[in-house]
Amino acid sequence: MTPHEKSDRSPAITVDQICFGWSGDKSVLNNCSLQVPKGEFWMLLGNNGSGKSTLLRLLAGLITPHSGRVAIHSPFGFVFQNPDQQLVMPTVGADIAFGLVKEHLSYVEVKERVREALSAVNLLELERRPIYALSGGQKQRIAIAGALARHCEVILFDEPTALLDPDTQIELVEQVQNLVKVRGLTALWVTHRLEELDYCDGAFLLQDGKVVAQGEPQALKAQVLATESQ
């Protein structure tokens, strides 16, 4: 695949006037709207309780909005905060292959998909490694490889660096940045770490269930820092 051309600004993710609240609680999302351009890496920033993870689950179809519309290019992948919640097979290769069962591929095709995906995240040598023997950062990259093996166009990341040490956090965000550039993926990455904004194409700031600012990540970062210093 050739590198993505930034001139293509059509949205791969659309959220239009979404409203949602858990039963008996106040609304979590209030007329929330955003668009993520195809082939770009965008981040969703906000304090705890702002609705970031809820919005990602709505996009993934895990929950249904009370009103409004969501649209996302398929196939798409979802990388959880804790990779142990989604890695289910005993070895790396088997786990990635498990995600391909519904595609009814031949053994050779599955093997090729697995190896291609592992190569993309620089972990080909771990194909036979037991899942329990992986580091947290390696597990997150295996979760990403699972989405790549399914040829996902979009990947949603729910605070994927939350359980990682600082060096591994940066390695993971750099890996995703490179995959977006080289493979033309679209990524939406939930975070509360301002330093991660240095690696994305754009960002949204979520407050009280709606997007209150969006655009160039460094400008958004400066806005948040200015607010925190007041």
Please give the average pLDDT of every successive group of 10 residues along the chain, which has 230 residues: 49 96 83 96 91 93 93 94 93 97 95 96 96 95 96 95 92 95 95 93 94 94 82
Q: Tokens standing for 126? A: 């771990």
* Residue pair 118/92 in contact by the 8 Å Cβ criterion: yes
Q: How far apart are CA 144 and CA 149, in angstroms?
A: 9
- 77 CB contacts (<8 Å, ≥6 apart)? 143, 144, 146, 147, 148, 150, 152, 154, 155, 156
pLDDT at 3: 39
Question: What DSSP string describes 23-66?
Answer: TTS--SEEEEEEEEETT-EEEEE--TTSSHHHHHHHHTTSS--S
pLDDT at 230: 67
Three-state DSSP state, 19: strand
Which residue is listed with tokens 């033309």? Answer: 184
pLDDT at 226: 81
Q: How far apart are CA 147 and CA 153, in angstroms?
A: 9
Q: Residue 84 gets which letter from DSSP? A: G
Q: Among the CATH numbers 3.40.50.300, 3.40.800.20, 3.40.50.720, 3.40.50.1100, which is that of 10-74+153-230?
A: 3.40.50.300
Q: How far apart are CA 91 and CA 132, in angstroms?
A: 8
Which residue is listed with tokens 């190896």? Answer: 115
pLDDT at 2: 37
Domain coordinates of the chain in residue numbers? 10-74+153-230, 87-152
pLDDT at 8: 55
pLDDT at 26: 77
pLDDT at 10: 82
Is residue 22 packed enough to be buried (19+ CB in 10 Å), middle (13-18) or exposed (0-12)? exposed
* Residue pair 159/83 in contact by the 8 Å Cβ criterion: no
pLDDT at 188: 98
pLDDT at 125: 97
- How far from 50 is each of 42, 72, 226, CA to CA, in Å? 17, 21, 19
| Neighbouring-strand partners of residue 91 | 130
In degrees rounded to 5, what are phi and psi of residue 79? -110, 115
